Chain A
C-alpha cells in the first residue's frame, strides 16, 4: 500500500532528523523508544512533531503499547 509506505517513510525521516539519529539506522519494525533513545518527555515531542507534520490528532491512549514505527504509521494513517 504505497500511501502507508509513504507515511512510514515520513515518520522515519522526521524521527531521524528530530532526534539526530542516522536515518539508515532506523527500520520500520524496530522499537522506536530504544532506536531513538527517548524518554517520556521526548516521546511527547515525537507525538507533537507527528501531529504537526501530518495535521492529525493522535490521542495519547491510542498510542499506548505502540512501540514500532510500522504500527505507529498505521495509527496515523487511520486519521489522515
Chain B
C-alpha cells in the first residue's frame, strides 16, 4: 500500500521516500489505534522496502513529535478491568509494539525521524528506531517513565545504550529530566540541528541525497553498524511486566491523569 490515510497517522510514497506523518491530537499519544495503524505500516513496509530508499517519520502537530504512550487510555483500561487483567494484556501489547519498533529499526530503508516539540517516552523510543534524528531547536527529549514506577517499554533503553554512552542513558532515565535539542546534538543523539520548523525540510533534503547511493551498499552498511539488541529488548519487556504488577504504577498513572500541574510529566 503506497498510500494510507488513517485516524492517527498517514503515509505516502513519493520519489522513493516514504513519509509517515503522525497526526493524532493532542500530542500523538501512542494508544491502541496508533499501534494498529503502525502495524499496518509495518506490513506495508514489506512492499515499500522494495520501492523506496528512505523513510521519514514526522508529526504534523504543533505540540511536537509525540508525547509517548497514551497513559489515559491505559489508566481507563485499568479502571475497567482491573490491574491484574491489564498486567496480562501488557505483555501481549509490548510484544506487538516491539515488533513494530524492531521492524522499523531493522528496515533496509534509511530511516529519518524529523522531530520538534515534545519527543517523550514512547515517542522518543520511536525516534530511536530511526537511523538519523533531525531536530529543530524547540525539540525536547525525555524518559519520564520512572515517575510511574516503570521503565520505558518500547525498546528505548537498549537502543539508547546502543547509540550513546551509558552515563547519558542513566542521566535521562534516572533523573527523568528533559534534554533540549542542542544538548541532544552534543551527546550524539541528534545528527542535525535545524531552525524552528525546518526539520522536515532538512529530512527531505537528506533523503534526496541518500537516493544517490547504491541501495545494496547502503543496506549492507546499515546492517553492519546498527545491530538490533534483541536480548536486551526481551529483558526490557520482562522487567517492565514485573514493575507493572506493582501498585505504585496505578497510583502514578492516577496522579498523572488527574494532574492539573503545568509539569505533570515530573514526579
Q: Could you tell me which A residues sit within 8 Å of B by CB distance?
A: 33, 38-41, 43-45, 47-49, 51-52, 57, 59-61, 63-64
Least Cβ distance of A64 to chain B in Å? 6
Q: Could you tell me which B residues sit within 8 Å of A by CB distance?
A: 27, 63-64, 67, 117-118, 137-140, 142, 175-178, 180-183, 261-266
B117 & A59 in contact (Cβ 8 Å cutoff): no
Find chain B residues with CB under 8 A from A57 CB.
Answer: 180, 183
Find chain A residues with CB under 8 A from B140 CB.
Answer: 44, 47-48
Contacts A44-B118, A48-B140, A52-B137 known; A59 to B263 CB distance under 8 Å? no
B180 & A43 in contact (Cβ 8 Å cutoff): no
- A51 vs B175: C-alpha distance when bound (angstroms): 18
Main secondary structure, interface of B, reads loop
A61 & B175 in contact (Cβ 8 Å cutoff): yes
- A57 vs B175: C-alpha distance when bound (angstroms): 14
A41 & B63 in contact (Cβ 8 Å cutoff): yes
Find chain A residues with CB under 8 A from B261 CB.
Answer: 40
A40 & B265 in contact (Cβ 8 Å cutoff): yes
Least Cβ distance of B168 to chain A in Å? 13
Q: Which residue of B is nearest A55, CB measured?
A: B182
- A33 vs B264: C-alpha distance when bound (angstroms): 14
A40 & B263 in contact (Cβ 8 Å cutoff): yes
Q: Which residue of A is nearest B265, CB measured?
A: A40
Chain A to chain B: the 10 pairs with minimum beta-carbon distance, closest first? A59-B177, A43-B262, A60-B177, A48-B180, A51-B180, A33-B262, A41-B63, A40-B262, A48-B138, A44-B140
A41 & B177 in contact (Cβ 8 Å cutoff): no
B263 & A41 in contact (Cβ 8 Å cutoff): no
Q: Which residue of B is nearest A67, CB measured?
A: B262
> In the complex, given contacts A41-B27, A51-B182, A61-B176, what are 20 additional A-B residue pairs having Cβ atoms less than 8 angstroms apart?
A40-B261, A41-B117, A44-B117, A44-B140, A48-B137, A48-B138, A48-B139, A48-B140, A48-B180, A48-B181, A52-B137, A52-B180, A52-B182, A57-B180, A57-B183, A60-B177, A60-B266, A61-B175, A63-B263, A64-B266
